[in-house]
Homo-oligomer: A and B are copies of this chain.
């Protein structure tokens, strides 16, 4: 039975996890830690966590006593915490994460967790978020209707893993188990490519037009939607780019080639074929 949860990283996803646990009826204790005292205090005031600790050592101390530790920091920080938690946690304790890429994390987990005398690690990734982060935007309903992916390494779930998966279900999320390599490749297409694309387009327009009032005056929903993710923070995406470089580069190269094809066919029936394919893609969604 999960009675004590420690959330490391009380930003948008971490704080929303705390709120979702509460709303779903979790009656145990939830502690939190974040390197930003602003995020941490915001999470505390919102009721996303019941208590906080003042530094990393305090967090490790709480991890010793927790049933579940949720790592809700960028991917490289997750890997760093995994190393530290491996030294203080043991069997009957679960570590789970919400990182955007899964291959490096599950490879590291295989060397640190899951053995005799070791804690259990369940790699997870809720497909939810906003273009801006931070505890203040956290919501109990963030995962409602969203997909929460898992990339388990063991064939069978332990009781603790099963219980954590039920909480995710109580959040209103659907879930799906995937191979971690496949996860990273698919997320490159459906999440990382749209992000890089939106960032590139917004950066290009900023470079080209800066403060030109016309862009703001005439740009409508098309511009707003295709550049919305341009507001996303580098701090999170740096780690995604570093831990999923090859798959992302592959999707970018494919899109570059596709745009070249469109450009070379603006006056040919090749453009019609592109619209036909795109219409078909959208008709299923």
Binding site for B on A (CB under 8 A): 127-129, 131, 146-147, 149, 174, 176, 178, 186-187, 189-191, 193-209, 211, 214-220, 222-234, 237-238, 241-242, 245, 248-249, 252-256, 258-263, 266-267, 271-272, 274-285
Tell me whether B285 and A224 are in contact (CB under 8 A).
yes
Q: What residues on B are CB-neighbors of A260 within 8 Å?
A: 252, 256
Looking at the complex, which one of B216, B254, B262, B279 makes contact with A284 (CB distance below 8 Å)?
A: B216
In the complex, what residues of B have CB within 8 A of residue A231's CB?
278-279, 282-283
Q: Is the CB of A194 within 8 A of B226?
A: yes
In the bound complex, do residue B256 and residue A202 qualify as a contact, i.e. CB atoms below 8 Å apart?
Answer: no
Asked if B242 and A267 sit within 8 Å, CB to CB, the answer is yes
For residue A241, which residues in chain B have a CB less than 8 angstroms away from its CB? 266-267, 271
Instruction: Verify B258–A259 contact, CB threshold 8 A.
Output: no
Beta-carbon contact of A201 and B190 below 8 Å: no
CA distance A216 to B277 in the complex (A): 16
Pairs A–B under 8 Å by Cβ, sample size 25: A129-B220, A176-B217, A176-B218, A178-B214, A189-B205, A189-B215, A197-B259, A198-B222, A198-B278, A200-B274, A201-B258, A203-B258, A203-B274, A204-B255, A205-B281, A206-B280, A216-B285, A227-B281, A231-B278, A231-B279, A231-B282, A231-B283, A232-B278, A234-B272, A234-B279
Contact of A277 among B187, B191, B206, B253 (CB under 8 A): B206
Contact B272 A238 (CB under 8 A): yes
Interface of chain A, helix or strand or loop or mixed?
Answer: helix
Q: Which residues in B have their C-beta under 8 angstroms from that of A218?
A: 127, 147, 149, 176, 186-187, 190
Cβ-closest 6 pairs across A and B = A230-B278, A202-B278, A234-B275, A203-B277, A206-B281, A231-B282
Residues of B within 8 A of A224 (CB): 285
Cβ-defined partner of A204 (8 Å) among B205, B206, B208, B254? B254
Among residues of B, the one whose C-beta sits closest to the C-beta of A228 is B225
CB < 8 Å: which of B216, B226, B262, B274 contacts A225? B226
Q: What B residues does A208 contact at CB under 8 A? A: 189, 254
Contact, CB under 8 Å: A282 / B227: yes
**Distance between Cα atoms of A172 and B285 in the complex (Å):** 32
What B residues does A211 contact at CB under 8 A?
284
A31 to chain B, nearest CB (A): 29
